[in-house]
Amino acid sequence: MRALRRADFQMLTVVLLLCIIGAIAIYSCTRAGRLPTAKVTMQIAYVVIGLAILFGTMMVDAGKLRRLAWPIYLTVMGLLVIVLMVGQIRETNRWIPLGPVHLQPSELAKLAVILMLGAFVAREGDEKGDFLFLVKALAYVGGPAVLILLQPDLGTPIVLFFIWLVMMFVFGANPGHLTAFTLAGVMLFAGAWGFGIIRPHQQARLSAFLYPERDPQGAAYHLRQSLIAVGSGHLWGQGLFHGRQSQGEFIPDQETDFVFTVVAEELGFVGAASVVVLYGLLLYRGLAVSAAASSPFDRVVAAGITAMLLIQIYANIGMTIGLVPVKGMALPFLSYGGSSLITNMLAVGILQTIHMRREQIVF
């Protein structure tokens, strides 16, 4: 219990508030179904399990996490292989069925890559100015990224590359080298598009983002309905459980990928801005933990987790308001689903143990 006194209670409070808002939003947009409380009940169960995992992770020393990086990485790689053989939902191989629930290894892959990169830079950090050092570090991203691309999933490999980029920058890699890798990534994407490697449904989503008026009832349907919901919220919203789009089930997958539209429609700009402020506080605390970390491993892992949360928040909220293409990506702590929620709880638990370790060393 003494260790808990050193915890970052601001971060824990933000996470709990986001989970509560998420549960209310999930109930609001699913209560019209045949089993009105089924999904919110399951989400509450995920939250309870996730909080238990979070507090359990807080008790693990960050040094032990470094030693566990390889076993965790290899286990997740094995799960990514298994999901290609047994997983099948909506013509994609992203979930491993486990009775009434489904495990999504690509969510766990984000955290596994972060820990693996942290262990790598702690071991070979003296070479951080070397171009070859970045190539070696990127190889740890490449393995999971290729397996995830085969599912197919284009967004998660981009998230993994962004995490790598931030972690290497925070560690002190040459900015010119990082810029070169980024440009190479853009060129690879353009080449994949030109040679038809990007799947048709992925191309359709990107085209719908650029030209939504061409297919308003097809590829651009999600974006169109999302914009209607967000725009109709105005300042104070239409009222909790009274959103026309949310209660009318106009938005597919609203409790998962488009849960932010429930908040924006029913609680308006004030509610949506409040959620964004909470996310801002969470990211600020993550950056503070990274800045005050006592070792290179702690510093880059905290930065990687913060980067993971940042890009997921930006991508999810951005797609609901038309800033980025529509992508199946959960909004941390709000979206329905166990894999994403538990992964993010684990991530916050790691941030907490890094923070507590720093406090222990200082005082």
CA dist 99 and 157 (Å) reads 28
pLDDT band of residue 293 (cuts 50, 70, 90) is: very high
pLDDT band of residue 28 (cuts 50, 70, 90) is: very high
Prediction pTM value = 0.93
CA dist 26 and 32 (Å) reads 11
Residues of the chain above pLDDT 70, percent: 94
Higher pLDDT, 131 or 271: 271
Long-range contacts from 133-137, C-beta under 8 angstroms, 24+ separation: 133/173, 134/168, 134/173, 134/177, 134/178, 134/181, 137/164, 137/168
**pLDDT score of 197 more than 60:** yes
pLDDT the model gives residue 98: 80
pLDDT the model gives residue 298: 95
Task: Please check whether residue 73 is in contact with residue 112, taking contact to mean a CB–CB distance below 8 angstroms.
Answer: yes
**pLDDT score of 100 more than 90:** no
Q: For residue 35, what are the contacts with CB-CB under 8 A and spacing of at least 6?
A: none
15-29, 48-62, 304-318: least confidently modelled range: 48-62
Mean pLDDT, residues 180-185: 94
Closest listed residue to residue 260, CA positions, set 250, 248, 272, 269: 272
Mean pLDDT, residues 112-135: 87
Q: Is 33 helix (H, G, I), strand (E, B) or coil?
A: coil
Mean pLDDT, residues 283-303: 95
Higher pLDDT, 33 or 238: 238
**pLDDT score of 17 more than 50:** yes
pLDDT the model gives residue 127: 66
Average pLDDT along the chain: 89
Give the model confidence (pLDDT) of 310-321 as tens digits.
999 999 999 999
Task: Please check whether residue 57 is in contact with residue 350, taking contact to mean a CB–CB distance below 8 angstroms.
Answer: yes
Closest listed residue to residue 306, CA positions, set 295, 319, 291, 321: 291
